Structure 1
Amino acid sequence: PGYYQHKYGRGDKHLKVDGVILDEATGVYWNWKKAKVKSEAEAKEKGYTKTKNAYKGYVGQQIGDKVYKGFKPDKLNKSGFFELYSELLEAKNIAALPTYYPIPAHEKMGKDELILTTYKVAVHIHSRSANCKWLTEICNDNPGQINPITAQRLGIKTGDKIKVKSEIGEITTTAKVTEGIVPGTIAISHHLGHWEYGRYASGKKAPMAGDNDPDLKLKNWDTYGVHPNWIIPNSPDPISGQQAWMDTVVKVTKA
Structure 2
Amino acid sequence: KAAEENLAPLEFMRRYGAFEINKKIGAIYEENVPRDELDDVREDHFGRMFTRAPKPASPNVVPVPSPDGDEEGRRFVGVKIDGEIKRGFPTPSGKLEFFSRTLVDWGWPECAIPTYITSHVHPENLEPDQTILISTFRLPIQIHTRSANAKWLNEIAHTNPLWLHTSHAAKLGVRTGDLVRVETEIGYFVVRAWVTEGIKPGIVACSHHMGRWKVHENGQRQLMATVRLDHDGDKWGLKRERGAGPYESGDKDTLRIWWNDVGVHQNLTFPVHPDPISGMHCWHQAVRVRKAEAHDQYGDIHVDTAKSHEVYKKWMAGTRPADKYSPNGERRPYWMLRPLKPAREFYKL
Which TM class, normalised by the smaller chain length? 0.7 to 0.9
Q: Cα distance, 1:162 vs. partner?
A: 0.7
Partner of 2:132: 115
Distance 1:225 1:179 in 2: 22
Contact 2:210/2:263 (CA < 8 Å) preserved in 1?
yes
Contact conserved, 1:141 with 1:224, CA < 8 A, in 2? Answer: yes
2:117 maps to: 101
Measured after TM superposition, the shift of residue 163 of structure 1 is: 0.8
Match of 1:10 in 2: 33
Asked if 1:198 is matched to 2:220, the reply is: yes
Where does residue 149 of structure 1 map in the other structure?
167
1:249 aligns with 2:286: yes
| Within-5 A mapping of 1:161-176 | 161-176=179-194
1:22 paired residue number: 43
Give the aligned residue type for 1:29. M
Counterpart residue number, 1:43: none
Give the match's secondary structure for 2:50: strand
Query: How much identity, in percent, do the aligned residues show?
Result: 36
- Tell me the SS of whatever aligns to 2:213: coil
Match of 1:179 among 189, 197, 216: 197
Unaligned stretches of 5+ residues in structure 2: 1-20, 55-66, 227-242, 293-349
TM-score relative to the length of structure 1: 0.76
- Deviation, structure 1 residue 224: 0.5
* 1:153 alignment partner AA: K
Alpha-carbon spacing, 1:213–1:56, altered in 2? closer, same or farther (3 Å): same
Rounded to whole Å, the distance in 1 between the matches of 2:120 and 2:254 is 48
Counterparts of 1:50 and 1:172 in 2: how far apart (Å)?
48
Report the counterpart of residue 230 of structure 1 in structure 2.
268
Contact 2:49-2:80 within 8 A present in 1 as well: yes
Quickly say closer, same or farther: Cα 1:220–1:55, change in 2 above 3 A. Answer: farther
Match of 1:86 among 80, 84, 100: 100
Question: 1:51 and 1:221, CA in 2 relative to 1: closer, same or farther beyond 3 A?
Answer: closer
Unpaired runs of at least 5, structure 1: 35-48
Instruction: Report if aligned partners of 1:115, 1:185 keep a CA contact under 8 Å in 2.
Output: yes
Q: Distance in 2 between matches of 1:53 and 1:225?
A: 53
1:215 to 229, 253, 263: 253
User: Closer, same or farther in 2 for the Cα pair 1:226/1:61, shift >3 Å?
Assistant: same
Any idea what the Cα deviations from partners look like across 1:107-128, whole Å, max 9, x if unmatched?
A: 3422211111122211111112
In structure 2, C-alpha distance between the alignment counterparts of 1:217 and 1:109, rounded to whole Å: 48
Larger mean CA deviation between 97-106 and 151-160 belongs to 97-106
TM-score (normalised: structure 2): 0.57
Q: Secondary structure at the match of 2:155?
A: helix
